[in-house]
Amino acid sequence: MSADVHTLIGAWAVDALDDDERAEVEHHLGECESCAQEAAELREAVWRLSDVTIADPPPRLRARVLTEVARTRQEAPEPPAAEPRTARPRLRRHRGMPRLRLALAAGALAAVMAVVGGIVTWSVMRDTEPSRSDQIAAVLESGDAAIGSIAADGGGKVSVVYSEQLDKAVVVLAGLAAIGEERSYQIWMVDPEGQVSAGVMDPGDRSATMLVEGLGDAELIGVTQEPAGGSETPTLPLVAGVPLEG
């Protein structure tokens, strides 16, 4: 099999493998120094293929990226030596209902958990690691978790569990008033300086669980109705505003 894996290095370098083969090749590269050398050399050649596709992105992308980066924590660096990946300690949480240390208002919490356990619509951070469910569990379990909940205008409810320590909040929106496919609900963090978008729900969706990072000095989590895909600034009035006790 080894010779076969070796011939896949080219296809690996241009991402032309399926997931199983990719894993197989990368495992092989970890064990075969000359192969890893060849793979690295091919990657150095391959990336030059992107010389011919350089194109200016829309100017708005810069502000979006810098804004998101401003509230995105960087990963810890690799351990110094080439330790096996499995040796790296990582907080693993079993799936299912996170346990809670804090006695929160039982009714509100039940509502939060019911939605957290359900299917989630959320477009902003779909691919980030650690997994979203782990991050949500971390907020719900944090020692300083606090909860706020308010009925939304037109029906439904918005609940926020937030942790100052983690600088994160879980926002649960349930059964908001029906809106057409051309409108989206958008979530905002409001602080004394103004407001920042904390996420946009898929058009027409009335329920969602959102993970909000980088709370900072936010005093309020607000929800507005916006054109599908969201707006740069909120369209008032708020559908709901949940105050955060600082």
Partner 1 sequence: MPALEQLLHGTALGDDDAFARLYDEAAPRVYGLCLRVLRDPAQAEEVAQEVLVEIWRTATRFDPSRGSAGAWISTIAHRRAVDRVRSAQASGDRERRAAAQSEPEYDAVAEAAATRLEHRQVRRCLGTLTELQRQAVTLAYYGGHTYRQVASLLGAAVPTVKSRIRDGLLKLRDCLEVAR
Interface residues with partner 1 (CB under 8 A)? 7-11, 13-18, 40-58, 61-62, 64-66, 68-70, 72-78, 127-128
Q: How far is the CB of 35 from partner 1 (least distance, A)?
A: 12
Q: What is the DSSP letter of 137?
A: H
Q: How far is the CB of 207 from partner 1 (least distance, A)?
A: 22
Scan for tokens 């346990």, then name that residue: 99
Residues contacting 192, CB < 8 A, separation 6+: 217, 219
Rounded-to-integer distance, Cα 73 and Cα 125, Å: 13
Nearest CA to 36 among 87, 82, 86?
A: 82
Nearest-approach distance from CB 49 to partner 1, in angstroms: 5
**Residues 6 or more apart from 184 whose CB is under 8 A from it?**
200, 201, 202, 203, 204, 205, 225, 226, 227, 228, 229, 230
**In the complex, what is the shortest distance from the CB of residue 50 to partner 1, in angstroms, rounded to a whole number?**
5
Residue 146: DSSP 8-state: E
